[in-house]
Amino acid sequence: MNHPKHVGDFSLLDPAVQQCPFEFYRHLRQESPVYWAEDIRCFIVSTYALAKTVFEDTATFSSRNVNRRIVNADAVERVQALRASGYPPVPFLATNDPPTHSAYRQLSAKIFTSKRIFDMRKKVEPIVSELFEPFVTKGGGDFMRDFAIPLPLMTVADLLGIPRDPETVAKYRLWSDATIGPLNGVISAEQEIGYAEDILEYQAFFIDIINDRIKRPREDLITEMINAEVPGEGRRMDMAELLSAIQQWLVAGGETTTYTLGSGMLLLAQQPELLEALRESDDRVKNFAEEVLRTQSPSQGLLRVVLKDTVLDGVAIPAGSLVSVRIGAANRDERIFADGEALDVCRANAKAHLSFGVGIHFCMGAPLARMELFSAFRRFADSGLRIEVDEESGGFGYVPSLFFLALNRLHLKLARV
């Protein structure tokens, strides 16, 4: 006899739940919107309203250094030694709180202007073509490897003014993975040590680039960061700050777009009627991108550290606790999104999702990510191609993660209709 499930029947440590957490999320929203998960030792917040409350209350729920945890006890000594041998990470935007966050945000806004983003349109379309044509010519392949990963990294490389040949782009991906890998929460000690080694390689590469720009300035984002004054402090950023800033641009510029592209293409392969709907108008393509961001949130959860004893929705949360704000659950909250489990390319409030953050932590690169997603999805929709998952070549698979809904492979077959 099958008994009805309840919230205690699920665990984010279960790979099946990681890959499809949405039933768990429904139970969380209905039974326990603020839930203590003993297995991962943190509170889980699952409704839209409560997620916004946590994100907006930076005095209680801190973003500072939430990605500095060492997951494996066996790796602590070695990882600490590796970190000590390089430049220390500086809490910049996503990993910082006011007041220093405010200064870095102002500095970044002066550099990452709306005009600069608009001008990137002229570069995004050619990059999409550069990746699309060979992918179509060979009849498909691993979409993640051949398209979803390189597109945002090549775009950010052009923005920063750094090389974007395939070998170097592969390194950017390696360093991006090393930055967010420990956040997955399900990695081995060997992997964690490897990530720390990769970060040192990242630093060496960009130290050389920064020093070159100091000697030979260019008209690029890195040169502007070097010359920018930190608001209210009358100084320029030092090497540690510059390295942390570039590292966040690489990660922010790659992960959200890559995972959304993968999830969107998987949906188009599984539901061919969606392709027909996208061919009707550009507005539907744009809304499709927003609905993929909402229903398949690339970042399923973000951590916050509780700075002082507090009460959230009647639940007492002690200072020092970790809170996992489940964006993937909040984005399907039926109180905000009618029939929230369904993807609707005509949804009027699709852009109300939280996948780009809220308030002071709203992603500055969101307009660029939207530009990339629209360009890529429109190109495939307009191509008239039939898209199918290529099960014989390996189908699709996910990165084991507590916090990301991330395909690591997506083999597709393309054919003319």
| Per-residue model confidence (pLDDT) at position 264 | 98
Instruction: Tell me what percent of the residues of the chain surpass a pLDDT of 90.
Output: 75
pLDDT band at 252 (very low <50, low <70, confident <90, very high): confident
| Domain, as residue range, for 175 | 68-298+358-416
Whether residue 1 has pLDDT greater than 60: no
Residue 306 within any structural domain of the chain: no
The residue among 203, 281, 258 whose CA lies nearest residue 372 is 258
pLDDT digits (tens, 9 = 90+) for 315-360: 999 999 999 999 999 999 999 999 999 999 999 999 999 999 998 9
User: How many domains does the chain contain in total?
Assistant: 1
The model carries a pTM of 0.94
pLDDT at 41 over 60: yes
- What pLDDT does residue 54 have? 97
Instruction: State CA 178 to chain mean position distance.
Output: 14
The reply to whether 120 falls in a domain is yes
Produce one character per residue of 356-395: b if its CB has 16 or more CB atoms within 10 Å, e if not.
bbbebbebbbbbbbbbbbbbbbbbbbebebebbbbeeeee
Q: Is residue 380 part of a domain?
A: yes
Q: How far is CA 325 from CA 22, 62, 80, 336, in A?
A: 14, 12, 28, 17
On whether residue 334 sits in a domain, the answer given is: no
379 within some domain: yes
Assess whether pLDDT exceeds 80 at residue 65: no
The pLDDT score that the predictor gives to residue 188 is: 82
Report residue 140's pLDDT band, with 50, 70 and 90 as the boundaries.
very high
- At residue 68 the predicted structure's pLDDT band, cuts being 50, 70 and 90, is low
Tell me, what's the pLDDT at 185? 72
Q: What are 96-105's pLDDT values in tens digits?
A: 889 888 999 9
DSSP, collapsed to helix, strand or coil, labels residue 154 as helix
The pLDDT value recorded for residue 4 is 66
72, pLDDT greater than 90:
no
User: Per-residue pLDDT averaged across 195-218, rounded?
Assistant: 95
Bridge partners (DSSP) of residue 369 are none
Instruction: With a cut of 50, say whether residue 126 has pLDDT above it.
Output: yes
Residue 67 has a pLDDT of 66
Q: Which residue has the higher pLDDT, 82 or 34?
A: 34
pLDDT at 107 over 60: yes
pLDDT at 74: 79
| Helix ranges, 161-238 (H) | 166-180, 189-215, 221-227
Position 235 pLDDT exceeds 90: yes
- Per-residue pLDDT, 70: 64
Q: Which helix (H) or strand (E) holds 315?
A: strand 315-317
Q: Has residue 272 been placed in a domain?
A: yes
Residue 339 falls inside a structural domain: no
Q: Considering the domain boundaries, does residue 319 fall inside one? A: no
Instruction: Please report, to the nearest 10 degrees, the dihedral formed by the alpha carbons of residues 217, 218, 222, 225 taken in order.
Output: 60
CATH code of 196's domain: 1.10.630.10
pLDDT per residue as tens digits for the range 273-311: 999 999 999 999 999 999 999 999 999 999 999 999 999
Strands 407-416 and 140-142: antiparallel
Mean pLDDT of the chain: 92
Average pLDDT on 19-30 reads: 96
